[in-house]
Amino acid sequence: MKTYNIVITPSAKNCLLDIFEYIALDNLGRAESFIDEMVEAFTKTLSVFPLAGKVYEGLETKMEIRSLAYKKYVCFYWVKNDAVEILSILNSAQNIKNILSSIGFME
């Protein structure tokens, strides 16, 4: 079975740090384990099933952006050759369209 490399972009790493810091305000140990669990879930799924997420239709972009949920967080990514590039990970309550637009994935 073909597997895809998972690339976590700098903007997605910043998102993970923000999520970690938010959870750590209440529970540092849980912040660490939650980030590990979430990254592992996205990696396991997307490395084997890169088209598992639904197409996100809110933006005009260079490539097709897909989204995959984990609990109340949503991973936004695109498939590029043999890699899945994770662009951002956001809380589903956030203004996703505005945040993704500001990251600069537009053509």
**Bridge partners for 80 per DSSP:** 83
- pTM, two decimal places: 0.85
pLDDT-derived band at 42, boundaries 50, 70, 90? very high
Domain count, the chain: 1
Which structural domain, as residue segments, surrounds residue 32?
Answer: 5-92
Position 107 in a domain: no
Say if CB 6 and CB 83 are below 8 A apart: yes
SS3 (DSSP) at 8:
strand
Mean pLDDT across 24-30: 96
**Which CATH number belongs to the domain containing residue 32 in this structure?**
3.30.2310.20
Mean pLDDT across 60-87: 90
SS3 (DSSP) at 41:
helix
Could you identify the residue written with the tokens 């203004």?
95
pLDDT-derived band at 63, boundaries 50, 70, 90? confident
Q: What does each C-alpha distance from 96 to 10, 22, 40, 62, 69 come to in angstroms? A: 18, 18, 22, 17, 13
Position 52 in a domain: yes
